Structure 1
Amino acid sequence: MSGTGALRKTVTRRGALLLALAVPGAVAAQAAPLVRVEVWQDPTCGCCEGWVRHMRAAGFDLAVRKVADVRPMKAANGVPEALWSCHTAMVDGYVVEGHVPAADLRRLLAERPQARGLSAPGMPPSSSGMDIPGTPYEVVLFGTPGGERTWARH
């Protein structure tokens, strides 16, 4: 076999090996289940829809429940009234109140603190789904043994 033919055969074998190693990983990554987020929101709230779009774009699987009154969901899940926002979500045992960014939720799910959940209290103008830049806000971790604390500043 000539030098060029041997090189071509080596490159082809190497490429086949790399492809064989890469494809199972790619298939597994595609098959990984999305994290399910259940959201309760007012049917006419546009900013809630903005947050749903933000979360879906970040790779979460959202089930949206449009209800006339979200307050019973907040109360049933122990969200302090001072932390209420326009929509309430549940994900993997945690409550997510309001416009919490996807990155903060990912961190919560990775760290798994002993807590009830996260809140972006009120409707911060700069938050995900509101998207009016320029107003800093905090995301609060609540329902912890030590009380509420700042989880993130944006």
Structure 2
Amino acid sequence: MNRIPSSATLLMSASLLLGAGTAHAALPAEATLYKNPQCICCDKYARHLEEHGVDVTIVDDVSLGQVKKSVGLPYGLGACHTIEMGGYAIEGHVPFAALEKLFEERPDTDGIGLAGMPIGTPGMPGPKQEVWNVYQFRDGEAQPFMTL
């Protein structure tokens, strides 16, 4: 039996479509990525952000240790680059789903990160080989943020 969608169904469909578009709108328009000059995977991560509409400034002539210290990154949870974006620090090859969650929820935290350089994450070659535990941090202390 063919049915004509009710106005409630049409309204809900429109809301879902509009909601899907707001996830990207929540991301900041600009980011600054701090890295070592020789690190190619960091450049690939910057391109990943740019593909999602973020204008990325790359800074490769700064002490990464000082940057990580200034954003309050917990010891031992570093990665190859640190990003400042929308009032948060983003450490490493954080998957886009975690960035979307961060900027949709805007938790009271200094930032989020993914330690190391896991294979399969944005900017890192190869297929995903493990669960990615993204953490959030505040005042040098880490807590779980999400698992992907």
* Structure-2-length-normalised TM-score: 0.74
CA–CA separation in structure 1 for the residues paired with 2:126 and 2:133: 15
Could you list the structure 1 runs, at least 4 aligned residues long, displaced by more than 3 angstroms after superposition: none
**Distance of 1:69 and 1:132 partners within structure 2:** 29
**Preserved CA contact (<8 Å) 2:28 2:86:** no
Aligned residues: 122
- Kindly name which structure, 1 or 2, has the bigger radius of gyration based on alpha carbons: 1
| Unaligned runs of at least 5 residues, structure 1 | 1-31
Aligned to 2:127: 133
Residues 1:96 and 1:47: Cα distance change in structure 2 (over 3 Å)? same
Residue matched to 1:75: 69
Indicate whether 1:61 and 2:55 are aligned. yes
2:94 & 2:121 partners in 1: Cα distance?
Answer: 7
* Superposed CA offset, 1:15-59 (max 9, x none): xxxxxxxxxxxxxxxxx8962111111111011011111111111
Structure 2 counterpart of 1:105: 99
Q: Name the aligned partner's letter for residue 136 of structure 2.
A: L
Given candidates 100, 112, 117, the residue that maps to 1:118 is 112
| Change in CA separation of 1:116 and 1:45 when aligned onto 2, cut-off 3 Å | same
| 2:39 is aligned with 1:45 | yes
Tell me the secondary structure at the aligned position of residue 76 of structure 2.
helix
Instruction: Check conservation: 1:43, 1:68, Cα contact below 8 A.
Output: no
The aligned residue for residue 21 of structure 2 is none
For residues 29-40 of structure 1, the aligned pairs below 5 Å read: 35-40=29-34
Residue 67 of structure 1: CA displacement? 2.1
Q: Which runs of 5+ in 2 are unaligned?
A: 1-24
Percent identity reads: 31
Structure with the bigger RCO (C-alpha within 8 Å, sep 6+) is: 2
